[in-house]
Amino acid sequence: MTAPLPGKHLLRRGLASIRRMVALHPRSFAVAVVGATVFALATVAGSWALGRVVDRVIVPSFSEQGVGDATVAAALALVLGIGLVRAAGIVVRRVFATITQASVQATLRGQLVERYQVVPYRFHRRRPAGELLSHAGNDVDAATEILGPLPYATGVVVIMVTSALWMVATDPFLSLVGAAVFPTLVVLNLRYQRSVDQPAERAQHELGRTSAVAHESFDGALVVKALGAEAIEGERFGRAAESLRDAKIRVAEIRAGFEAVLDALPALGIVAVLVVGAWRVDAGAISTGTVVAFVSLFTVLVFPLRLIGYLLGELPAAMVGLARVDAVLAEPADPRHAITAPPAAAAARGAAGGARVEIDRLW
């Protein structure tokens, strides 16, 4: 069974699908987002604290007055305190993001199994067991893969907003650097999502097809051997595996090109911060610690900003996986083909410890 490929407005429909999956287990996701927000604020605070340490401890230590022990202890306590808060945010985010992802996977697989039990038998006759296993396995995994790093992505947005406000409040010229780097990163990530859209969709479809062929070969191993069709089955699986390989390579090529640019842009931003910051320090507008703080901030932003590109790259695969799951869930249920226990059997179960199952009107 082939689900329709997502077409235009993928980002908008992808966000709608994410909201739908999050709605299945919103509490654990909300806790993960809170943890990501704490991590984001602590990350920005860590850069701010580093700047304060440079201004209050490191630079004065080279002067004749020196630095008192109390000032050094306060600086250490500040850095360690922010580090502990940041670590706590990371733990909360990761634990509850994993709980959310696993819970949504269990819910979707449960819905699929329930649907398999109530659809007409012609549904099963038209589809091999390998395809049904692929829906409950690979397709569910692909649909929910995006939920794991999603809270982290919300933290990245908080980091960007907080950093922009900090830059504007600190120095207008440094804020121009942030205004040039951050929007450019967003545009590049959106461009990456559009470029990887169709290749990622094709890769997910090829993965489902390859899994279905593999399961069919395992299920029908005795029949294949009896007919002497090993070579035919091997060739069929080989063609599916080659198509999957080509699709995955194409996605990797696009991702490699964009990741190189996404890695280089923050580095260029650091160079710009150093140049502009040195000029502003020489003019007496800002301190050395402020420049160090912003350089630190751009450094720690390299990986989080790449995460947005990763999420946008995973979005097409998630959309395809969820579309394939939805295609099964949309199959009409036929109660005549469900295996049910009548009320009498339910009552007897408590009294005699057994149950009677009746199958009514198979065809």
CB burial of residue 67 (10 Å; 0-12, 13-18, 19+): middle
Checking if the pLDDT of 72 tops 70, the result is yes
- Nearest Cα to Cα of residue 212 among 299, 134, 325, 114: 134
Amino acid at 79: V
Tokens representing 342 are 């009548």
- Nearest Cα to Cα of residue 139 among 167, 169, 104: 104
Q: How far from chain centre, in Å, is Cα 328? A: 24
Q: Which residue in this structure is represented by tokens 């199959």?
A: 331
Give CA angle at 135 (198, 255), nearest 5°: 30
The pLDDT > 70 percentage for the chain reads: 85
Alpha-carbon gap, residue 65 to 49, rounded angstroms: 22
End-to-end, the C-alpha distance of the chain in Å comes to 23
Q: Give the domain CATH number at 44.
A: 1.20.1560.10
Tell if the pTM clears 0.85, that is, is over it.
Answer: no
Q: What is the pLDDT of residues 252-300, one digit of tens each?
A: 888 787 777 777 887 888 888 889 888 988 888 888 888 888 888 877 7
- DSSP letter assigned to residue 340: B
Domain tally, the chain = 1
Q: How confident is the model at residue 353 (pLDDT cuts 50, 70, 90)?
A: low
CB burial of residue 193 (10 Å; 0-12, 13-18, 19+): buried
Length, in residues, of the chain: 363
Checking if the pLDDT of 171 tops 80, the result is yes
Model pLDDT, residue 25: 92
Checking if the pLDDT of 212 tops 90, the result is no
363 in a structural domain: no
- DSSP letter assigned to residue 8: S
Model pLDDT, residue 356: 58
Model pLDDT, residue 157: 86
Q: What is the pLDDT of residues 93-134, one digit of tens each?
A: 999 999 999 999 999 999 888 888 888 878 877 877 767 777
Model pLDDT, residue 342: 53
Checking if the pLDDT of 66 tops 60, the result is yes
252 in a structural domain: yes
- What integer is the mean pLDDT of 4-30? 77
Alpha-carbon gap, residue 103 to 28, rounded angstroms: 9
Residue 82: count of CB within 10 angstroms of its CB: 20
284 in a structural domain: yes
48 in a structural domain: yes
355 in a structural domain: no
Model pLDDT, residue 8: 46
Helix axes 26-53 and 150-170, enclosed angle (nearest 10): 30
354 in a structural domain: no
Residue 156: count of CB within 10 angstroms of its CB: 23
Residues in CB range of 302: below 8 A, 6 or more apart: 263, 266, 267
The pLDDT mean for the chain works out to 80
Which carries the bigger pLDDT value, residue 160 or residue 208?
Answer: 160
Alpha-carbon gap, residue 341 to 359, rounded angstroms: 9
Its domain, for residue 211, covers 11-343
171 in a structural domain: yes
- Alpha-helix runs per DSSP H in 119-171: 121-126, 129-134, 140-144, 150-170
353 in a structural domain: no
Q: How far from chain centre, in Å, is Cα 102? A: 13
Q: How confident is the model at residue 232 (pLDDT cuts 50, 70, 90)?
A: confident
